[in-house]
């Protein structure tokens, strides 16, 4: 290796003489990092998404390989965020791939002291049973003057601000048809 | 200019804040008003420290400054606001009644609004009972008002009539002097004048100023009036409906705007239609007429079509003209069914089952102990979340386990935890803070048993309908007739989110053609649509919310990125960006204008006006609905087409904002004899103890003011950040920021422990001594404020006491949002006691501050002591 090539391998030299005066790109690369490929380049697919935290609505690109999320980056096309994400948005991949995420149904029986496992279908049927029973036990047909009430005050629900419009729509539609009025979400808080 | 108040935008909405910095780079002045110096303050041109809970006094000072110096944008104000409108002679102001308006009824602590009306009583629609409106959060439920007013008003465009709104405003705010601002808020007069001068200098024909707020404004017992006060300034200065202007609400959750538009709220149906009330809306016609107010002007005049379309979307073929489109199926409100009433009802054993859908009230709602005691007294609880949150594990991990208030072996609540799908594991739309819908593509399948809410509720509905299939009971018809056929796909039979969006958008019943605009909605059952304000999001069968034309390839308005309601308009009421004749106010601030040649409105945005209605259009006599809006009336949802400086109806705690002290305050109201909002929503319940405030005795037991807000690295109740290792590592511990002066006074040391005590709870935190919080001189004495983040709880990678445990429950009367941005407390060095000792400590404070019985101050303050500025008449 000649002296000139040897000097040119110094990041500082390349930073001072090349096109990367801040030393945050090409100048900082080593022989090894030159050979690396970004996860975003090898992804099987990219989903156009939106950050799930606050309501600014920053664009996200979700990179997927082998059915797993491998990276989430800001979407430079977004006129709202122009590719930027804040510390929370930038941690979105850690959010969706967190080892602390619950992936199975857990059940605590009345007066129980520990969680138990439960099959999802069983849970769905048990919840349906309880909803119908609570509704029947607390149903109100009419008020004192005979005007319709058509409702139950035995069931409550809280949540929606983190959910999709389509989800909120179905929640309100189903609860309204059941006569369950007491639906609320973070917008009240 | 950009005024940020009640918001720490740089830290809570960092990526949105890039646009503030961009504006600053181009010469805009940035002002920040906050109890605490934050990163937003650090980059602002000016920072004004303020005593928490006194923003109306400051804003009122700005209003007085504008009016006294005649700095309003007069042409805009006369043409586009109700400044010239004359109010009835019966109206009495807070100036006359020691801080109350005329019409206050002591027995139910609410206002009869008839004396607030515009002159010409025969024009006015009798207002609904206001106590009912408070209980059902009906004050502002039509979003952009739409509250009833008479169509033809009497006006004095010279603004000289003593009863015109302009003069009423002038008188109402006359005592909000710079001296008074200093006395109430603790803001030095020169700082106040710097703000007032900059705001007025940067508004008018050539310039606009923007106002930004967040929950620092909404979470107060007078929250709605904070925003009214900001809106009055923006109207007086001509900053509404114009580029670079407006009142910008920064909301805190990915689709909290969507969950208000397509509401999971007890008092609303999609598109801000009211949930029926048993006495006020027994029939379909009464329900519709309560929204459209027959004879009234504006776009609510078509409410019958919006209502029919919703019912058709809900009940499909079963909904016909003959059965009033199944209106009879709708459940009816009888009063307050809000989340705080629910929690108290849980404690009282009235509620059997509770669903928590991505929300964590054990940490995120006011009075955490009440939340947990309520959940511990249910038959069953369903928690759907990504993580094991505090609200799922209260029965084994709550602080009340240690105090013995919850005993696992005695707690009957059956808990189902069902894992939820994350935002990348399902498709659907979020509506962000500027009403913009953005569709998300699905990236991967959810893991294990995790499912979307769409899946959960579709299949729960399917199972329930199957159970009831043979039922003949009348009460089950609403479920059996429900239009509940959504196509499903994939291994888990996931319902199609796009098919739900199509139903929300609306369609022609016979052909299935998606509607392009809510103006296509019919009131005869031939069209169906689930949320009228969202009509157009699926125009031409295209998912408009999924549009992703790069911002770099379109104009700054970016009309082809996502879709904004209504009708893809990015700035509401943008007709006001042109003068009454339809010409831009200035070349610099050109946005939407009238093209006389083509006889249509045009511009950079979708005009928020009928496309071909000329500026010269004047409604014929006795016209109503949309036809009643004149060609120079930009505020098309208002009954008079005007921006409301003064609200003749619809706002339950007064036609004008008035400074009342927070419910818990160490300070006697310096402005009026009336101490706190007389129409506030109060819950009398043994669990809901309140700290005394002047003129009650013993307020000195809780001498300090505390306020709470967000950190950049955490998200609300913490589930989505305290379980995420990079974020947990960045902000690992609960802490409290105190000033060096208070630290010295109370013997607190930096990085040591302190605990805060209220009559509800004591919580501990690490001490951060910093001059970011500064003592303020208020009404001749020093007031110390402390600040805490509210993200911590007892689950997750990092844990800590919950700041929301400190708060009691008192609500704004218009929207039933709790006062959780300000309270009083004591601050003590060291960790808090545990177990029974903790209960004893709180009980001791309650005893010292009065007695053990919960004590609520009277709604109307009669004590004249210390109320020096409010002289007896």
What are the structure tokens assigned to B539, written together?
């125009």
Mean pLDDT (chain B, rounded): 95
**pLDDT at residue B131 tops 90:** no
Q: How many CA atoms lie within 13 A of B597 on its CB side?
A: 0
Q: What is the pLDDT of residues B812-858, one digit of tens each?
A: 999 999 999 999 999 999 999 999 999 999 999 999 998 756 678 89
Segment B549-571 mean pLDDT: 97
Segment B227-246 mean pLDDT: 98
For A130, B126, B339, B457, B500, the CA distances from B357, given in Å and listed in that order, are 17, 40, 14, 11, 19
Q: Which of B190, B183, B240, B185 is CA-nearest to residue B210?
A: B240
Long-range Cβ contact pairs of B843-852 (< 8 A, separation 24 or more): B845/B701, B845/B702, B845/B757, B845/B758, B845/B759, B846/B689, B846/B759, B848/B698, B848/B701, B849/B691, B849/B692, B849/B698, B849/B699, B849/B701, B849/B702, B849/B759, B850/B692, B850/B696, B850/B697, B850/B698
Going by pLDDT thresholds of 50, 70 and 90, the confidence category of residue B124 is low
**pLDDT at residue B640 tops 70:** yes
Mean pLDDT (chain A, rounded): 95
DSSP lists the bridge partners of residue B823 as: B706
pLDDT over 70 percentage in chain A: 99
**pLDDT at residue B149 tops 80:** no
**pLDDT at residue B580 tops 90:** yes
B188 contact partners, CB below 8 Å, separation of at least 6: B182
Element (H or E) spanning B500, and its range?
helix B497-505
**pLDDT at residue B255 tops 90:** yes
pLDDT of residue B140: 63
Q: Do B415 and A107 touch (CB under 8 A)?
A: yes
Rounded Cα distance, B197 and B200, in Å: 5
Q: Do B449 and A62 touch (CB under 8 A)?
A: no
Residue B80 near residue B643 (C-beta atoms within 8 A): yes
Q: How many residues does chain A have?
A: 189
Separation of CA B155 from chain center: 32
Rounded Cα distance, B534 and A102, in Å: 34
Segment A122-129 mean pLDDT: 98
Place of tokens 């709880």: B793
Contact of B813 with chain A, judged by CB distance below 8 Å, is answered with: no
The DSSP secondary structure of B660-714, one letter per residue, reads ---SS-SS--SS-S--S-TT-EE---TT------TTSTTGGGS-EEEEEE--TT-
Q: What angle do CA B649, B235, B119 make, to 5 degrees?
A: 35
Q: Do B337 and A87 touch (CB under 8 A)?
A: no
Going by pLDDT thresholds of 50, 70 and 90, the confidence category of residue B637 is confident
First to last CA, chain B: 41
B567 contact partners, CB below 8 Å, separation of at least 6: B517, B518, B536, B606
The bridge status of strand B527-528 relative to strand B507-508 is antiparallel
Nearest CB neighbour to A127, from listed B416, B431, B817:
B416
Segment B616-633 mean pLDDT: 91
Helix, coil or strand: residue A5: helix
Q: Do A128 and B417 touch (CB under 8 A)?
A: no
Q: Do A91 and B436 touch (CB under 8 A)?
A: no
Q: What angle do CA B8, B759, B337 make, to 5 degrees?
A: 70
Show the domains of chain B with their CATH numbers. 2-249 (3.40.228.10), 578-634 (no CATH), 681-848 (2.40.40.20)
First to last CA, chain A: 68
Residue in A with minimal Cα distance to B216:
A189
What are the structure tokens assigned to B714, written together?
């955490």
pLDDT over 70 percentage in chain B: 96
**pLDDT at residue B869 tops 60:** no
Segment B613-628 mean pLDDT: 91
Nearest CB neighbour to A134, from listed B333, B379, B459:
B379
Omega within 30 of 0 (cis) for the link into B566:
yes
Rounded to a whole number of angstroms, the distance from the CA of B373 to the nearest CA of chain A is: 15
Helix, coil or strand: residue B489: strand
Q: Do A54 and B279 touch (CB under 8 A)?
A: no
Rounded to a whole number of angstroms, the distance from the CA of B795 to the nearest CA of chain A is: 11
Rounded Cα distance, A94 and A98, in Å: 5
Listed by number, the residues of chain B in 540-569 with a beta carbon closer than 8 Å to a beta carbon of chain A are 546, 548-552, 554, 556, 558, 561
Q: Do A88 and B431 touch (CB under 8 A)?
A: no
* ipTM score assigned to the predicted complex: 0.97
What are the structure tokens assigned to B417, written together?
């935890």
pLDDT of residue B857: 87
Residue in B with minimal Cα distance to A184:
B265
Listed by number, the residues of chain A in 14-73 with a beta carbon closer than 8 Å to a beta carbon of chain B are 45, 47-59, 62, 64, 67-69, 72
Q: Where are the domains of chain A?
A: 3-35, 39-96, 106-188
Rounded Cα distance, B695 and B784, in Å: 19
pLDDT of residue B356: 98
Contact of A122 with chain B, judged by CB distance below 8 Å, is answered with: no
Q: Do A189 and B478 touch (CB under 8 A)?
A: no
**pLDDT at residue B300 tops 90:** no
Contact of A146 with chain B, judged by CB distance below 8 Å, is answered with: no
Chain B residue numbers with beta carbons less than 8 Å from the beta carbon of A121 are none
B497-505 helix and A165-178 helix, angle to the nearest 10 degrees: 70
Q: What angle do CA B753, B754, B758 make, to 5 degrees?
A: 155
Q: Do A153 and B350 touch (CB under 8 A)?
A: yes
Q: Do B329 and A177 touch (CB under 8 A)?
A: yes
Long-range Cβ contact pairs of B424-427 (< 8 A, separation 24 or more): B424/A47, B424/A49, B424/A62, B424/A69, B424/A72, B424/A92, B424/A96, B425/A96, B425/B450, B425/B452, B426/A164, B426/B452, B426/B454, B426/B494, B426/B497, B427/B497, B427/B498
Going by pLDDT thresholds of 50, 70 and 90, the confidence category of residue B142 is low
Element (H or E) spanning A178, and its range?
helix A165-178
pLDDT of residue B873: 39
Q: Which of B189, B252, B253, B244 is CA-nearest to residue B211?
A: B244
Nearest CB neighbour to B254, from listed A55, A120, A176:
A55
Q: How many C-beta atoms lie closer than 10 Å to residue B260's C-beta?
A: 22
What are the structure tokens assigned to A67, written together?
């059915």
Residue in A with minimal Cα distance to B556:
A79
pLDDT of residue B872: 45
B64 contact partners, CB below 8 Å, separation of at least 6: B170, B173, B174, B176, B177
Contact of B471 with chain A, judged by CB distance below 8 Å, is answered with: no
Element counts in chain A: helices (H) and strands (E): 8, 8
Q: How many C-beta atoms lie closer than 10 Å to residue B93's C-beta?
A: 20
Which range has the worst mean pLDDT, B120-129, B269-278, B387-396? B120-129
Helix, coil or strand: residue B351: coil
> May I ask the CATH architecture of the domain A39-96?
Single Sheet (2.20)
Segment A106-126 mean pLDDT: 98
**pLDDT at residue B122 tops 80:** no
Q: Do B463 and A86 touch (CB under 8 A)?
A: no
Q: What is the pLDDT of residues B721-757, one digit of tens each?
A: 999 999 999 999 999 999 999 999 999 999 999 999 9
Q: What is the pLDDT of residues B186-200, one digit of tens each?
A: 999 999 999 999 999
Segment B787-797 mean pLDDT: 98
B489 contact partners, CB below 8 Å, separation of at least 6: B496
Segment B597-617 mean pLDDT: 98
**pLDDT at residue B502 tops 90:** yes
Element (H or E) spanning B600, and its range?
strand B600-603
Q: Which of B586, B559, B591 is CA-nearest to residue B573?
A: B591
B654 contact partners, CB below 8 Å, separation of at least 6: B94, B101, B111, B225, B679
Rounded Cα distance, B543 and A183, in Å: 28
DSSP label of A84 = -
Nearest CB neighbour to A149, from listed B331, B433, B452:
B331
Q: Which of B123-127, B211-215, B694-698 has the highest average model confidence (pLDDT)?
A: B211-215
Nearest CB neighbour to B260, from listed A62, A131, A187:
A187
Q: What is the pLDDT of residues B702-715, one digit of tens each?
A: 999 999 999 999 99
């Amino acid at each position: 290796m000649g002296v000139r090539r040897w000097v040119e391998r110094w990041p500082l030299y390349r930073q001072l003489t090349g096109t990367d005066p801040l030393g945050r790109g090409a100048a900082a690369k080593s022989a090894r990092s030159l050979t690396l490929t970004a996860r975003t380049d090898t992804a099987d697919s990219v989903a156009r998404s939106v950050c799930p935290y606050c309501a600014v609505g920053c664009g996200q690109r979700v990179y997927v390989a082998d059915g797993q999320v491998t990276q989430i980056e800001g979407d430079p096309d977004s006129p709202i965020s122009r590719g930027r994400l804040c510390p929370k948005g930038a941690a979105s991949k850690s959010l969706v791939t967190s080892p602390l995420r619950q992936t199975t149904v857990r059940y605590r029986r009345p007066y129980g002291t520990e969680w138990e496992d439960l099959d999802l279908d069983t849970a769905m049927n048990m919840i349906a049973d309880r909803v119908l029973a609570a509704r029947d036990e607390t149903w109100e047909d009419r008020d004192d003057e005979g005007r319709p009430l058509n409702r139950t005050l035995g069931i409550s629900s809280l949540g929606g601000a983190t959910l999709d419009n389509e989800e909120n729509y179905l929640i309100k539609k189903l609860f309204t048809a059941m006569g369950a009025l007491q639906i609320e979400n973070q917008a009240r808080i | 200019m950009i005024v940020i108040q009640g918001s720490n935008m740089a830290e809570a909405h960092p990526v949105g804040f890039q646009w503030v910095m961009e504006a600053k780079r181009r010469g805009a002045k940035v002002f920040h008003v906050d109890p605490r110096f934050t990163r937003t303050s650090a980059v602002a041109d000016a920072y004004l420290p303020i005593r928490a809970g006194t923003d109306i006094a400051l804003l009122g000072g700005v209003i007085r400054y504008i009016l006294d110096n005649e700095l309003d944008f007069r042409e805009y104000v006369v043409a586009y606001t109700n400044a010239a409108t004359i109010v009835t002679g019966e109206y009495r102001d807070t100036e006359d009644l020691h801080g109350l308006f005329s019409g206050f009824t002591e027995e139910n602590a609410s206002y009869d609004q008839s004396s607030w009306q515009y002159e010409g009583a025969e024009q006015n629609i009798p207002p609904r009972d206001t106590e009912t409106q408070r209980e059902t959060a009906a004050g502002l439920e039509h979003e952009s008002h739409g509250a009833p007013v008479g169509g033809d008003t009497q006006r004095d465009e010279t603004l000289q009539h003593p009863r015109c709104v302009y003069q009423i405003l002038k008188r109402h705010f006359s005592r909000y002097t710079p001296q008074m601002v200093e006395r109430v808020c603790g803001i030095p007069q020169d700082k106040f004048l710097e703000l007032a001068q900059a705001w007025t200098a940067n508004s008018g024909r050539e310039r606009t100023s923007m106002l930004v707020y967040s929950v620092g404004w909404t979470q107060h017992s007078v929250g709605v009036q904070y925003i009214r006060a900001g809106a009055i300034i923006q109207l007086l200065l001509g900053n509404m409906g114009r580029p670079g202007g407006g009142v910008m609400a920064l909301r805190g959750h990915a689709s909290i705007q969507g969950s208000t538009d397509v509401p999971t709220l007890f008092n609303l149906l999609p598109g801000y239609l009211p949930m029926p009330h048993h006495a006020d809306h027994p029939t379909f016609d009464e329900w519709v007429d309560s929204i459209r107010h027959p004879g009234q002007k504006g776009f609510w005049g078509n409410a019958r079509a919006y209502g029919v379309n919703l019912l058709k979307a809900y009940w499909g073929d079963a909904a016909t003209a003959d059965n009033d489109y199944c209106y009879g199926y709708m459940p009816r409100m009888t009063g307050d069914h809000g989340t705080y009433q629910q929690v108290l009802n849980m404690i009282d054993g009235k509620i059997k089952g509770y669903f928590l859908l991505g929300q964590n009230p054990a940490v995120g709602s006011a009075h955490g102990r009440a939340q947990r005691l309520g959940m511990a007294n249910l038959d069953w609880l369903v928690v759907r979340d990504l993580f094991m949150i505090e609200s799922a594990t209260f029965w084994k991990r709550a602080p009340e386990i240690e105090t013995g208030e919850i005993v696992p072996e005695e707690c009957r609540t059956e808990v189902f935890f069902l894992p939820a799908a994350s935002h990348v594991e399902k498709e659907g739309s979020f509506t962000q803070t500027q009403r913009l819908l953005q569709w998300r593509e699905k990236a991967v399948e959810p893991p294990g048993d995790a499912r979307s809410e769409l899946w959960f509720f579709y299949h729960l509905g399917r199972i329930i309908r199957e159970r009831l299939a043979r039922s003949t009971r009348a009460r089950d018809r609403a479920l059996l007739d429900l239009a509940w056929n959504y196509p499903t796909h994939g291994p888990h039979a996931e319902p199609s989110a796009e098919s739900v969006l199509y139903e929300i958008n609306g369609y022609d019943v016979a052909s299935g053609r998606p509607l392009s605009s809510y103006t296509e909605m019919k009131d005869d059952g031939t069209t169906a649509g689930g949320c009228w304000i969202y009509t157009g999001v699926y125009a031409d069968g295209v998912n408009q919310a999924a549009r992703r034309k790069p911002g770099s390839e379109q104009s700054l308005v970016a009309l082809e990125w996502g879709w904004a309601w209504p009708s893809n308009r990015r700035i509401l009421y943008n007709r006001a960006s042109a003068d009454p004749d339809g010409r831009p106010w200035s070349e610099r601030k050109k946005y939407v204008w009238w093209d006389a040649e083509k006889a249509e409105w045009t511009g950079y945005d979708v005009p928020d006006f009928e496309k071909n209605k000329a500026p010269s259009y004047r409604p014929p006599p006795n016209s109503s609905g949309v036809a009643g809006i004149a060609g120079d009336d930009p505020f098309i949802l208002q009954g008079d087409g005007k921006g409301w400086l003064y609200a003749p109806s619809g706002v339950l705690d007064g036609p004008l904002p008035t400074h009342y002290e927070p419910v818990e305050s160490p300070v006697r109201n310096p402005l009026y004899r009336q101490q706190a909002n007389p129409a506030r929503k109060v819950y009398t319940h043994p669990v809901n103890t309140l700290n005394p405030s002047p003129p009650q005795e013993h307020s000195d037991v809780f001498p300090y003011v505390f306020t709470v807000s967000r950190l950049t690295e955490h998200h609300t109740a913490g589930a989505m950040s305290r379980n995420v290792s990079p974020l947990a590592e960045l902000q690992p511990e609960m802490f409290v920021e105190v000033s060096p002066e208070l630290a010295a006074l109370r013997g607190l040391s930096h990085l040591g422990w302190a605990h805060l005590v209220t009559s509800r709870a004591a919580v501990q935190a690490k001490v951060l001594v910093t001059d970011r919080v500064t003592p303020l001189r208020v009404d001749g004495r020093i007031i110390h404020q402390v600040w805490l983040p509210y993200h911590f709880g007892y689950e997750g990678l990092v844990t800590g006491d919950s700041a929301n445990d400190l708060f009691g429950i008192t609500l704004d009367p218009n929207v039933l949002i709790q006062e959780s941005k300000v309270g009083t407390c004591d601050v003590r060095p060291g960790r808090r006691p545990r177990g029974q000792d903790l209960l004893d400590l709180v009980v001791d404070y309650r005893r010292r501050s009065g007695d053990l019985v919960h004590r609520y101050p009277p709604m109307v303050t009669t004590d004249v002591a210390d109320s020096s500025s409010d002289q007896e008449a």
